[in-house]
Homo-oligomer: A and B are copies of this chain.
Amino acid sequence: MNLKELASKLGLSPTTVSRALNGYPEVNEATRARVMAAAKRHNYRPNTRAIRLATGRAMAVGHVIPVATRHEIVNPVFADFIAGAGESYSRNGYDMVLSVVPDDAEEEAYRDLRSRGAVDGVILHAPRMDDPRIPLLHEVGLPFVVHGRATGAGLPYSWVDVNNRRAFQRATEFLLDLGHTRIGLVNGLEFMDFAIRRRTGFADALAARGLSIDPDLCASDEMTEVAGFRAASAMLDLPAPPTAFLVASMISGMGVRRAIESRGLRMGRDVSVIIHDDDLSYMKNGEDVPIFTATRSSVREAGRIAAEMLMLRIAQPDAPPETRLLEAELIIGQSTGPAPRNG
């Protein structure tokens, strides 16, 4: 059932039917009602392909996800962000298209999406320092919103991000208040912008108490269970091991916990741990009482917000960039306690 058929069934022109369905004012309310009823009865749905060609809009937004060797982006955090964004899209009649490409073809993928006219805008994931994708997207004129920030990007752009610096600063202060002075940082990859900011927050809090970073107590790696285990193990085997850890994610945190417990130590008593909790639907940090003390910020909510922002930008491409800084809350769980007396 297409527009022409529906129109002839109603004894109207396609023009009028189209206008009736799209809420244009220049159509009699009586005939509009008649058209609506007929459309519902024959469950007519306008052909997306034709709409897209006629209007010149794709009514779709893209997420390109690089894959393979270097750095794995397909992680649970990403999945939850996507889910949040997807909710916003479908509420607004947009489609979400995911483009999985080898990581050396990412820039090409953006150009491609743009010139093929497959999407109206994109979300940029996992920004790095001086991220080349930002000037690229400006150049090709594709509206975009960044999830995170990219230190060093010359041009202004829209972003939504968690206040990572502040979150880790507060977490560090909390540990310091408990008497911990040797704190291990199990960070994400430090070419990622968020990891840099977290490290800064960590360093700032230490500096404010006259302490400085011990390079032996800093690790930077993928946020996997195994990497967390490896990093924590190395630090715990030091002559002067840390009494507390600041950890980049829930998953890394599980590895850290395993390292602690496999040495016969108990988390929360012998060694304290604070993680960053993205509030993932499939990785809840406990039920009523949190397992880990954590800095928490829902990445799913961030996805919703980023999507809304992007659709707004698409509607008004010349509006000034919008930014949104989300504060993480510090929630107290069972994984922290006062520093042991004679560490």
In the complex the two chains form, what is the Cα distance from A60 to B67 in whole Å?
Answer: 20
Contact bitstring A193-231, B, C-beta under 8 A = 1, else 0: 000000000000000000000000000001111100000
Q: Are B48 and A50 in contact (CB under 8 A)?
A: no
Partner of A72, one of B99, B224, B282, B287: B282
For residue A111, which residues in chain B have a CB less than 8 angstroms away from its CB? 43
| Interface: A10 (CB within 8 A) | no
Q: Are B74 and A75 in contact (CB under 8 A)?
A: no
Segment of A83-91, A146-154, A233-241, A308-316 engaged in the interface with chain B: A83-91
Q: Are A90 and B80 in contact (CB under 8 A)?
A: no
Q: Are A67 and B48 in contact (CB under 8 A)?
A: no
For residue A72, which residues in chain B have a CB less than 8 angstroms away from its CB? 281-282
Indicate whether A75 sits within 8 Å of B225 (C-beta atoms), given known contacts A89-B100, A97-B60.
Answer: no
Nearest chain B residue, comparing its CB with the CB of A222: B282
| Interface: A138 (CB within 8 A) | no
Partner of A75, one of B48, B98, B223, B282: B282
Partner of A87, one of B67, B83, B118: B67
Partner of A74, one of B80, B118, B223: B80
| Interface: A95 (CB within 8 A) | yes
Q: Are B79 and A75 in contact (CB under 8 A)?
A: yes
Q: Are A116 and B45 in contact (CB under 8 A)?
A: yes
In the complex the two chains form, what is the Cα distance from A323 to B249 in whole Å?
Answer: 39
In the complex the two chains form, what is the Cα distance from A65 to B48 in whole Å?
Answer: 20
| Interface: A325 (CB within 8 A) | no
Indicate whether A83 sits within 8 Å of B100 (C-beta atoms), given known contacts A53-B53, A287-B226.
Answer: yes
For residue A322, which residues in chain B have a CB less than 8 angstroms away from its CB? none
Contact bitstring A254-293, B, C-beta under 8 A = 1, else 0: 1001100100000000000000000001111011000000
In the complex the two chains form, what is the Cα distance from A89 to B97 in whole Å?
Answer: 11
| Interface: A76 (CB within 8 A) | yes
Q: Are B43 and A49 in contact (CB under 8 A)?
A: no
For residue A257, which residues in chain B have a CB less than 8 angstroms away from its CB? 258
In the complex the two chains form, what is the Cα distance from A99 to B95 in whole Å?
Answer: 7
Q: Are A76 and B225 in contact (CB under 8 A)?
A: no
Given contacts A49-B58, A224-B284, A225-B284, 9 further A-B contacts (CB under 8 A): A45-B112, A46-B116, A48-B116, A67-B83, A75-B282, A86-B100, A96-B98, A226-B284, A257-B258
A-B contact list, 30 entries, CB within 8 Å: A43-B111, A45-B112, A45-B115, A45-B116, A46-B116, A47-B53, A48-B117, A49-B49, A49-B118, A53-B53, A60-B97, A67-B83, A72-B281, A72-B282, A74-B82, A75-B76, A76-B79, A78-B79, A82-B98, A82-B100, A83-B100, A86-B98, A86-B99, A90-B100, A95-B99, A95-B118, A97-B97, A225-B283, A225-B284, A226-B284
Q: Which 6 A-B pairs have the closest CB atoms?
A: A86-B100, A79-B79, A74-B83, A75-B282, A48-B116, A49-B52
